[in-house]
Amino acid sequence: MVDDFILRHARIAGRGNDPFDIAISNGIIAEIAPHIASDLRSEDAVGCLVLPGFVDSHIHLDKSCILDRCRIEQGTLQEAISQVAAAKRDFTEEDVYARASRTLEKAIPQGTTAMRTHVEVDARIGLTSFNAVRKLKDDYAWAIDLELCVFPQEGLINDPGTEEALVAACEQGADLIGGCPYADNDRTQHIDRIFTLARCYDIDIDFHLDFDLDPSWTDMKEVCRQADAHRYGGRVAIGHVTKLSAMPRGEFEIWARRLADAGVAVTVLPSTDLFLTGRGHDHDIPRGVTHAHRLSAHGVTCSLATNNVLNPFTPFGDCSLIRIANLYANVAQLGDAPALCSCFDMVTRGPASLMNLSHYGIEIGNPADLVLLDCTEAASAVAEIVQPLSGYKRGHRSFTRARPLLHRP
Ligand SMILES: [Zn+2]
């Protein structure tokens, strides 16, 4: 049972600088007003910024925290895939559950209230990781909404038995399906099979796509064509698309308009993209981070996300999306308040829209998913990597974090 209360003096992202009171009843936002007269228990936000939580639209819980089982010598995408493929042979449901829950328990106090996790499914791992992460979805529903995207990281057409495993996961309730065409020789057929399966189960699609710096070819063309052909606009996302960072401005803009027209959303994964790309260069190393804010300006739904945590794809990770927004702003050379606000949007409203979350936002009638940040505006949250102080999921307090205390002599 969730008790009713009033969160007082909270600044709401996107509603100007004046604080509001927010009444929570039965886990739902019942009223928002400058002052609410009520005898209900109050919590004082003391002017802090409140948001509906960060949304991580692309993370891999199943292969997080395996650095101690892998080596990183070249730091390339190919090495990361093969290292994880080898480690994956020893994954058990208990092992995946233990590592993934450790990662989730880092994300929750960072203020993340919704997450799309990609889960590897293939002929060897079968549904082992899927079953573990599905259990997490139920066990952590008190703090976070988890969405499971099953996908073939090691290829589909090249990897007999993998499609059957994907079908089994879809039959057992996978929320959506992903693809990884660069892992196959026949990328077009890979994309085609994923659209066919998605249509069969009426689920959305999230591809890993164009994860290199060669601008001479792209799989965006086929993904946009299929999105149009299947009327799947608004239901397809593509992640990485580092290739766009290697295109001249004119060509980039042609693709930005094409993605916007087709309703294909983009997730940029700054930490992984910086770590894995440009490895062939010994100086003037390209950043490989696609300019999501420029895509956004053309009407593409964009998000910035975590991707990997403590594995050969990304040997870092505190699961903080505000840190990822700051990292992106730094790499994309964004510094003024409107630009920093656009980075904030790409870890909040952008991914909520990409994931088609229908009840996201501090609005009357929405679930009381509320995260308090120790600042008064979104731009400074990004600039200063401001820490969340507390969070609520459907009106139930899900975490608190103490402010640092200085001990003056
Ligand atoms: Zn990924």
Output DSSP code: residue 278. T
Tens digits of per-residue pLDDT, 51-72?
999 999 999 999 999 999 999 9
Tell how far the Cα of 157 is from the centroid of ligand 1, in angstroms. 19
CA distance 74 to 51: 40
> For the residues of 202-247, what is the DSSP string, one character each?
T-EEEEEE--SS-TT--SHHHHHHHHHHTT-TTSEEEEE-GGGGGS
Tokens of 189: 């057929």
With pLDDT > 70 as the criterion, what percentage of the chain qualifies? 100
pLDDT of residue 89 exceeding 70: yes
Q: What is the pTM of this model?
A: 0.97
Q: What are the tokens at 335?
A: 């510094």
Residue 306 CA to ligand 1 centre (angstroms): 9
pLDDT of residue 3: 82
Return d(Cα 170, Cα 168) in angstroms, integer.
Answer: 5
Distance 118 CA to ligand 1 centre (A): 7
CA of 7 to the centre of ligand 1 (A): 36
283: CB partners within 8 A, 6+ apart: none
Amino acid sitting at position 177: I
**pLDDT tens digits, 190-231:** 999 999 999 999 999 999 999 999 999 999 999 999 999 999
Ligand 1 centroid to residue 381 C-alpha, Å: 25
Buried b / exposed e across 220-249, counting CB within 10 Å, b at 16+? bebbbebbeeeebebbbbbbbbbbbbbbee
**Position 350: which residue type?**
G
Ligand 1 center–CA 151 separation, angstroms: 10
Task: Give distance in angstroms: CA of 177 to centre of ligand 1.
Answer: 13
Tell the CATH topology of 54-354: TIM Barrel (3.20.20)
Question: How far is ligand 1, taken at its centre, from the CA of residue 332, in Å?
Answer: 20
Give ranges for CATH 2.30.40.10 in the chain: 5-51+363-400
Strands (E) in 210-319, as ranges, are 236-240, 264-268, 302-304
pLDDT of residue 14: 83
Which CATH number is 5-51+363-400's, of 2.30.40.10, 1.20.1070.10, 3.20.20.70, 3.30.9.10?
A: 2.30.40.10
Per-residue pLDDT at 102: 98
Residues spanned by CATH 3.20.20.140 within the chain?
A: 54-354
Cα 213 to ligand 1 centre (Å): 17
Q: What is the mean pLDDT of residues 375-389?
A: 97
69 CA from centroid of ligand 1 (Å): 19
Q: Treating both helix axes as pointing N-terminal to C-terminal, what angle do 187-201 and 220-229 enclose, rounded to 10 degrees? A: 30
Q: Quick one: residue 366, left, alpha or beta (phi over 0 = left, psi -120 to 50 = alpha)?
A: beta
The residue type found at 93 is: E
Mean pLDDT computed over 311-322: 97
The whole-angstrom separation of Cα 39 and Cα 23 is 11
CA–centroid distance, residue 108 to ligand 1 (Å): 20
Report the phi/psi class of residue 117: left, alpha or beta, with left for phi > 0 and alpha for psi in -120 to 50: beta
Query: How far is 21 from 98, CA to CA, in rounded Å?
Result: 39
- Given a cut of 80, whether residue 1 has pLDDT beyond it is no
- Euclidean distance between CA atoms 75 and 67, whole angstroms: 13
- How far, in Å, is the centroid of ligand 1 from the Cα of 83? 15
| pLDDT at residue 248 tops 80 | yes
pLDDT, residue 2, reads: 64
Say if residues 258 and 220 touch (Cβ distance below 8 Å).
yes
Q: Which residues on adjacent β-strands are paired with residue 370?
A: 392
| Ligand 1: centre distance to CA 150 (Å) | 11
Model pLDDT for residues 122-171, shown as the tens digit of each residue: 999 999 999 999 999 999 999 999 999 999 999 999 999 999 999 999 99
